[in-house]
Amino acid sequence: MAVLNFGNIGFAREDYTNGLLLGQMRKQQQDRLSVETQRVSDTYQGQINEAEAEMASLQKFKEDIGAASSFLAKTVGQAKSILSKIDAAIRLVVSAEQADSGFASYGKTLDGFLKRIEADTESGGVTSNPMSHREPDYFYQTRPNGGGETAFGRYLGTKYQIVDDTGKVWVPDTSAGLLREYNSYPEDPTGTNYSLEHGVELTAESGNDITFVLNPDSASPDTRTGTVTRKGLQVMGAWYYDHLQTAAGRSAAHDDLNDAKVIAKIEVSRYELAFKVAQFHEEEAQLQIGGLRGEVNDLQVERAREIQEMQNRLAQEFEVANVRVQTALSLRNDYKNFLGVAVGNNKVAQALLSIYA
């Protein structure tokens, strides 16, 4: 028959109780560690979220101002290209002024330069070239939260119109080399066209009032009077300058091209300034993004450091508390053992010892 050892049962119960106590301490330690870790993390996360939101806003702004910077850089290039063609046309006229013959080819070459200038103003479509005859303004934001600058468009081509004494409107088509007639421009062309190289001749001019002959080499030339409206660079076609075949024509062309160069240089400077403003804000945004990125990194490092320090501190506190409890439990057992020997088999004393120890 088995004999129950009540003394061993008492020790087992004590070990179980002690284990529960220490387990509860560990759980409380883990709960506290979790709460404190979350608290520290949340404190830093708010600052990190704020910096990252600002960084995202700046990144979007940088992309937008970067697109503006690229567009304005392209516009500067187009304006400089037009300026270089004006310089080339001026050199052509100077060469014609110094030549003794072959003037007809000079006039044709001048029209070639004007054609290429006009092509430059038409590149890029309806709204993406501020130098087109549509003169689209270009607004670009210079602050993430609003505010910006406008690059105002100015036509840098060589279009002009002549309204003759019959009310017809004459407009050059440099790409086709034709002077086209309209009842109303541009809606109602008549279909009558003359070659800019051979089909029109200037016979008199006074300011904006001119007399010109259509089909001058034919048996029945058509003389018209009219009023010229110049646009853009204010330069006319070679026919207006006698195809550079006369000194007066070459002098007039030289004067008009010099004036056109002044206009083009002003526009180059204006677009260069707009580009530099956009570029400055793009670079400033990049620096701010870099600063915020560094701030976020610093916050993340500081958060990790503070969490580690807090965890180390709580671990030390737990270790101290654990040692104290273990010591207290050990002393309790020693005390019970000591008293147990003293009371012997006295059941009443043992019961009291179980309660108070």
Q: What is the pLDDT of residues 134-186, one digit of tens each?
A: 888 999 999 888 789 999 999 999 999 999 999 999 999 998 999 999 999 99
Is residue 215 situated within a structural domain? Answer: yes
Return the SS3 of 94: helix
Q: Is residue 180 part of a domain?
A: yes
Question: Are the C-beta atoms of 229 and 209 separated by less than 8 Å?
Answer: no
* Residue at 178 is within a domain: yes
Residue 18: per-residue pLDDT: 64
Burial of 110 (0-12, 13-18, 19+ CB in 10 A): buried
Residue 220 within a domain: yes
Tens of pLDDT along 75-109? 999 999 999 999 999 999 999 999 877 777 999 99
How many beta carbons lie within 10 A of that of residue 109, not counting itself? 18
Query: CA angle 193-199-200, nearest 5°?
Result: 100
Residue 118 has what pLDDT?
92
Domain that holds residue 179: 160-230
- Compute the average pLDDT of residues 19-23: 69
Percent of the chain with pLDDT over 70: 83
Cβ distance 111 to 199 under 8 Å?
no
Please give the mean pLDDT across all residues of the chain.
84
* Phi, psi dihedral angles at 351 (to 5 degrees): -65, -45
Arithmetic mean of pLDDT, 32-59: 83
Which region among 115-129, 143-157, 320-334 has the lowest average model confidence (pLDDT)? 320-334
Q: What integer pLDDT is reported at residue 46 of this predicted model?
A: 83
Burial of 38-69, coded b for 16+ CB within 10 Å and e otherwise, reads: eebeeebeeebeebbebbeebbebbebbbebb
> Is residue 321 predicted with pLDDT exceeding 50?
yes
Q: Is residue 124 over pLDDT 70?
A: no
- Per-residue pLDDT, averaged over 197-222, amounts to 95
pLDDT at 111 over 90: yes
Q: Which tokens is 245 given?
A: 């075949």
Give the mean model confidence (pLDDT) for residues 34-47: 80
The span from the CA of 202 to the CA of 208, in Å, is: 12
Q: Is residue 187 part of a domain?
A: yes
For the cut 90, the answer to whether the pLDDT of residue 302 exceeds it is no
Bridge partners of 195, per DSSP, are 178
Q: How many CA atoms lie within 13 A of 149 on its CB side?
A: 18
Q: What is the pLDDT of residue 16?
A: 62
Contact 20, 26 (CB under 8 A): no
**pLDDT band at residue 356 using 50, 70 and 90 as cut-offs:** very low
Asked if residue 216 is part of any domain, the answer here is yes
Is 183 part of any domain?
A: yes
Rounded mean pLDDT, 297-312 = 78
Residues 82, 210 contacting (CB under 8 angstroms): no
The DSSP element (H or E) to which 33 belongs, if any, is helix 6-98
Q: Give the distance from CA 241 to its chain's centroid.
A: 46
Give the distance between the most distant pair of CA atoms in the chain.
154
Between CA 176 and CA 162, with CA 240 as vertex, the angle to 5 degrees is 70
Residue 186 maps to a domain: yes
What confidence score (pLDDT) does residue 315 get?
74
pLDDT at 101: 77
Closest CA to 86 of 299, 206, 235, 187: 235
Counted domains in the chain = 1
pLDDT average, residue stretch 330-343: 55
